[in-house]
Amino acid sequence: MIALLRRDLRLAVRAGGGFGLGLAFFLIVIVLVPFGVGPEASVLTRIAPGILWVAALLAALLSLDRIFALDHEDGSLPLLATSPLPLEGVALTKGVAHWLTTGLPLTLAAPALGFLLNLAPTAYPYLLASLALGTPALSMIGTFGAALTVGVRRGGLLLSLLVLPLYVPTLIFGAEAVRLGAEGLSARVPMAMLGGITLFAFALLPFATAAALRVNLR
């Protein structure tokens, strides 16, 4: 599992489509928002939690279609299916690799970009914590979607249509946690919900992902 994780991390850096692309998209969206809604600080402060979470969610989408595509293209996916590592372990490793190359950089970059949206100072710890809790779920859900569409022509569009509705609960609770933090209120409930969603995703979706891969490899 560790060897597969290292391999996927190297591929993400070398092949592109993930490591820097998500960060660049995240930055571009955040920079463009003030041009669209105006420079009023009060307006930007009010919409910052939602904008930051939506931008992070969309940035995480960009590299989802590459999770299994490279393995499918070079013929290594059937070899992974017959390796000693169960497909459930392969799915879990793919999700962790995607988070390390996409979700973690987005989480670390978010505070700096929050400054561009005049995010309230009290919201920064909640922004970091909510993204740290929520982005792993985005990666695992995206891994499941990538398994459903592997080998499908123009699967990227279908993948987005499948995954986006599943992202909605994470988006709602993540943005709400940051909003409550900006207002100086307790965000324990949305944080707990984010943690629950992530635990649910990592407990069940590796099995669903493995089942989808077995069907597509027949």
pTM for the full predicted model:
0.91
Please check whether residue 101 is in contact with residue 192, taking contact to mean a CB–CB distance below 8 angstroms: no
143-164 tens-digit pLDDT? 999 999 887 777 778 899 999 9
Alpha-carbon span 30 to 42, nearest angstrom: 16
What is the residue-averaged pLDDT of the chain? 90
The beta strand positions in 18-147, using DSSP E, are none
Q: Using the 8-state DSSP alphabet, how is residue 99 labeled?
A: I
The single-letter code of the amino acid at 109 is A
Looking at residue 17, its pLDDT comes to 52
Query: Domains of the chain: which residue ranges?
Result: 2-216
Q: What is the mean pLDDT of residues 170-183?
A: 96
Please check whether residue 63 is in contact with residue 102, taking contact to mean a CB–CB distance below 8 angstroms: yes
Higher pLDDT, 62 or 197: 197
Place of tokens 């930007």: 44
Nearest to 59 by CA among 4, 151, 135: 135
Nearest to 127 by CA among 182, 169, 184: 182
Alpha-carbon span 69 to 147, nearest angstrom: 9
Task: Count the helix, strand and coil residues of the chain and give each as a percent rounded to the nearest 5.
Answer: 85, 0, 15
Alpha-carbon span 109 to 103, nearest angstrom: 10
Task: Annotate 190-217 with DSSP letters as a single string.
Answer: HHHHHHHHHHHHHHHHHHHHHHHHHHHT
Q: Which two tokens stand for residue 50?
A: 């939602």
Higher pLDDT, 71 or 116: 116
Q: What angle do CA 147, 149, 151 make, to 5 degrees?
A: 100
